[in-house]
Structure 1
Amino acid sequence: MTTTVTTAAVSKNFGAYQDAAVRDPVIITKNGRPHTVLLAYEDFVRLLKRDRRVELTAELGADEVAAVEASEMEPESIPS
């Protein structure tokens, strides 16, 4: 269960909220709105692994463009 607390509450009792964040993320509000999230390091690492980067095709080199053009999808990956 996610906990929501104010920045003032976190500053007064950071250790307790740090321990709570190991179990579930803690949403920290500022001026009544969600502002930041305190979460376990393992959760952060898991989210980083899911992060995807976007690059412009104009920034690709000729070799990279050729590799993309030569690539083929696996038949089982093509929707029917």
Structure 2
Amino acid sequence: MASTVTVAAVSRNFAAYQDAAVREPVIITENGRPRMVLIAYEDYLRLSRRDRRVEATASLSDDDLAAVEKAEMESGRDHLNAELLTDKHAAD
């Protein structure tokens, strides 16, 4: 659960909210709207490791798209290939 406080409150007592952020995220509002979140450094590191690079399929060449289309899961994962085929035909 996160705490919600105003920028003014954080300004007046930063040390207390800094300590609170170690236990749970602190949502900081400005003019009644969420503006930022104060979190523990360990939480930041955990979240940043989840950051992934995403590319649009439009940026792939025809050869790359063909390779993706032909790709299959390793043996023992045939149930995933079946899911892929089901999903592909469901989208048509």
TM-score by length of 1: 0.75
- 1:76 aligned partner: 79
Which whole-Å deviations, capped at 9, do the CAs of 1:49-80 have from their partners, x for residues lacking one? 22332212343467755653442133132437
- Structure with a larger share of its residues in helix: 2
Higher RCO (CA 8 Å, separation ≥ 6 residues): 1
Count of matched residue pairs? 80
SS at match of 1:55: coil
Residues 38-47 or 24-33, more deviating: 38-47
Cα distance in structure 2, aligned partners of 1:13 and 1:24: 17
* Structure 2: tracts of 5 or more residues without a match: 87-92
Larger radius of gyration: 2
Q: 1:1-80 counterparts in 2 under 5 A?
A: 1-60=1-60, 64-65=64-65, 67-73=67-73, 74-77=77-80, 78-79=82-83
Cα distance in structure 2, aligned partners of 1:45 and 1:67: 34
* Structure 1: tracts of 5 or more residues without a match: none
Give the share of equivalent positions with the same residue, in percent.
Answer: 64
